[in-house]
Amino acid sequence: MRNIRRICAAGLAALCLCLGLSAPAGAGTETADTYGTGRAAAGEAVGYYAGWAAYQGHTPDKIPAEHLTRINYAFARIDPETLTLDLEDPARDKKNLAALRELRQEHPHLKLIISVGGWSDSRYFSDAASTAVRRERFADSCVDFIAEHGLDGVDLDWEYPVSGGAAGNIHRPEDRQNFTKLLRELRARLDRQGRRDGKDYSLTIAGAAGSWYLDQIEAVKVADIVDHIFLMGYDFHGPWERYADFNAPLYAPSGASPQGRTGVGASLEAYLKKGVPAEKIVLGMPLYGYAYQGVSSKSNGLYSTYTSVRSVSYRTLKRSYLSNAAYRQLRHGEAQVPYLYGERTFISYDDETSLAAKAGLARELGLGGIGFWEISQDDGGTLMAAAGAAFRSGAGKTPFTDVPAGAWYEDAAAFVYEAGLMQGTSGTAFSPDRVTTRGQIAAILHRLEGEPGAGAAPFSDVEPESYCAAAAAWAAKEGIALGYGDGTFRPDVPITRQQLAAILFRYMGHRGADTSDRADLTDFRDSGDAAAYAREPLAWAVSAGLIQGRSGGILDPYGSATRAQTAVLLQRLDGLLEES
């Protein structure tokens, strides 16, 4: 039998799909993984891609995907009549989404997320969240949309619940609670679809960088529901104020300012003090700045009044300003951001050094990742690459904050991660206690066999369109995974240790492997609890070292098989295959 490291690429894709979150789609072609390192990087790297960028010549095929783990397509809107998800420009958006799916084929580590709302399209969020019926309808439309377009999740960018945002936005005091209810409904719908498809769908939100925003949502409850909160660490100052100032200072300058003083560091502190777990925060960073024209020469234009202001992308800065001798390149020591002054113009922006400093702080605080608005503004990915390198600096064996040093499964988690067998349920979470289901185990073995046909599944609870329908039919035909006496397969039920032993025992026999060795199970206090069908398979699995006892000298045949245990099993199986 083959060593597990040499399992065919199609099998690895299946294994990752069923046991992890990010299966290497398009397995069989060697591609660089996240950040081009050949392995998933430590934490998420989220980039928003605006649909209108394609009109400016920055089509999806030009995205430097090697620097990202997720692309949020911005933006879908809420239809005012139906209060369901809708595309702003269907022809353009469908073309872009198709191109993004092609990009994902070239970079299998990528996840594609539809982002709903944004500054211009948050008007009807309050209505969509206002009643249970409306929440259900909106959630269903989101799930239908990602299924139709082959996407990996949904991002809600509600700017903002309760108050704020663009003129004309609808607000209610109840938005604070209704936002949580909307997310819960969407999470439930996504999880239900995920069970059908055999994958985990993402749910994220974008949040403002201010304590005022945290008072307008139920922050801790929201963080518990979503995969992460993209903290928009920019627009601290801008065209809505009277004075030229820094767009995204890391820290607030201590000098006199005619307007409020804050920065990225203070915003992160506010989120953490509110009780939002660090690993649920993705620090968003700008790939643009602001050019204030008509400023005075005093302090090189900082805190000066101005006559006009406009947003300027880093792409434009490189082309028109950074190489222009008329502009002095300056850096503020406390704010830790660069700025330009020349021709009565003050330009606040970020460069490789300032984004690296922000990413370094995100790493030190144990955040779940970093992110960017907006991808097309950094053609070539210079800034994204610098931030990503800084965030990964000093990473340990794995990026998983829930795999503590010295944990009994630490080496196994590192093994399956490095081997590409299992990935995280997010950029920083391995979810060691999450269980593996019967349907997932059947799908793993079926796909490792090359997905042979076997007709319809003979089980009343396995729908023809289920992700494990073909697998259940094959497993039943070959006598590998049997159903229950009532004619059900129960694909969503967590698999028990004795069921797993029996399935592996039958599968190894199906493959012609030697399964003759037996261990004496009487050494385990609860060996008599094992079902009759499972005693021989358990004796083999214990003899082979695949399954070991738990504390207290018990076998725990009815205990669940968690992701941590599955990782350990795969590591032990690798050792067996090397010996055979």
More confident residue, 42 or 410: 410
Pairing of strands 288-293, 345-348: antiparallel
Where would I find the beta strands (DSSP E) of 8-129? 44-50, 70-78, 85-87, 111-117
315-351 per-position pLDDT tens digit: 999 999 999 999 999 999 899 999 999 999 999 999 9
Contacts of 289 (CB under 8 A, 6+ apart): 247, 311, 312, 314, 317, 347, 348, 349, 350
218 is written with which tokens? 């139920």
Q: What is the pLDDT of residue 32?
A: 28
CA distances from 198 to 144, 164, 432, 436, 446 (A): 16, 39, 18, 11, 13
Q: What is the pLDDT of residue 417?
A: 75
Backbone dihedral region for residue 349 (phi beyond 0: left; psi -120 to 50: alpha; all else: beta):
beta
Instruction: For the chain, count helices (H), then strands (E).
Output: 17, 14
Q: What is the pLDDT of residue 561?
A: 84
- How far apart (Å, rounded) are the C-alpha atoms in residues 124 and 116? 11
Q: Is the pLDDT of residue 38 over 60?
A: no
More confident residue, 579 or 148: 148
**Domain ranges for the chain:** 43-284+350-392, 410-579
Q: What is the pLDDT of residue 564?
A: 85
Residue 520: pLDDT band (50, 70, 90) is confident
Q: What is the pLDDT of residue 42?
A: 54
Which secondary-structure segment (H or E) carries 352? helix 352-364
More confident residue, 537 or 395: 537
- What integer is the mean pLDDT of 172-182? 98
DSSP structural state of residue 14: H
Superfamily of domain 43-284+350-392: Glycosidases (3.20.20.80)
User: Of 81, 102, 148, 159, which one is the catalytic site residue?
Assistant: 159
Q: Is the pLDDT of residue 553 over 90?
A: no
Q: What is the pLDDT of residue 41?
A: 38
The percentage of the chain sitting over the pLDDT mark of 70, rounded to a whole number, equals: 87
- How far apart (Å, rounded) are the C-alpha atoms in residues 242 and 249? 18
Alpha helices in 382-519 (DSSP H): 382-392, 410-418, 438-448, 469-477, 497-510
**Is 159 among the residues known to form the active site?**
yes
More confident residue, 404 or 171: 171
- What integer is the mean pLDDT of 57-79? 95
Q: Is the pLDDT of residue 267 over 50?
A: yes
Point out which residues pair with 77 in neighbouring strands: 86
